[in-house]
């Protein structure tokens, strides 16, 4: 059994109002604006995962990325490359201390990894 849960998702779109309306009508999700291009939802409440809509420009294709919570983002990136994947978005840290990166598996699928801020994991 794995100890690496999927705990976050992100939809990227240049039509965030439509995407928010769609998931609101479909699943009853509500979103809260956090900054100019990010809207966060608790999605599944106590039993599901949280997620967000990120506004993109018209030149960026829409996407869906699922994030696995890991203990060490740098080590996970190293292991992904050793297994034949690539690091699409290098490791970075948000102002709140969350560390994240995005990877591509050998078949071309995108997956995100993150570690919560120290003391919150």
Looking at the structure, tell me whether residues 10 and 63 fall in a common domain: yes
Decide: residue 57, CB within 10 A, 0-12 exposed, 13-18 middle, 19+ buried: exposed
Looking at the structure, tell me whether residues 61 and 85 fall in a common domain: no
Looking at the structure, tell me whether residues 56 and 4 fall in a common domain: yes
Specify the number of domains making up the chain: 2
pLDDT along the chain (121 residues), means of 10: 82 91 87 92 76 88 90 94 94 94 89 89 62
Query: Which residues span the domain enclosing 5?
Result: 1-69
Which CATH number is 94's domain given?
3.10.180.10
Phi-psi region of 35 (alpha: psi -120 to 50; beta: other; left: phi over 0): left
pLDDT of residue 44: 64
Which pTM was predicted?
Answer: 0.74
Looking at the structure, tell me whether residues 51 and 6 fall in a common domain: yes
């Amino acid at each position: 059994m794995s100890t690496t849960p999927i705990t976050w998702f992100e939809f990227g779109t240049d039509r965030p109002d439509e995407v928010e309306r769609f998931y609101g009508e479909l699943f009853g999700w509500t979103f809260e604006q956090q900054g100019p291009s990010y809207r966060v939802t608790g999605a599944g409440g106590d039993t599901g995962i949280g997620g967000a809509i990120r506004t993109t420009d018209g030149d960026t294709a829409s996407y869906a990325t699922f994030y696995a919570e890991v203990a060490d983002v740098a080590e996970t990136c190293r292991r992904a490359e050793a297994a034949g994947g690539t690091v699409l978005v290098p490791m970075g840290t948000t102002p709140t201390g969350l560390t994240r990166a995005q990877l591509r598996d050998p078949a071309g699928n995108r997956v995100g990894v993150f570690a919560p801020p120290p003391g919150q994991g």
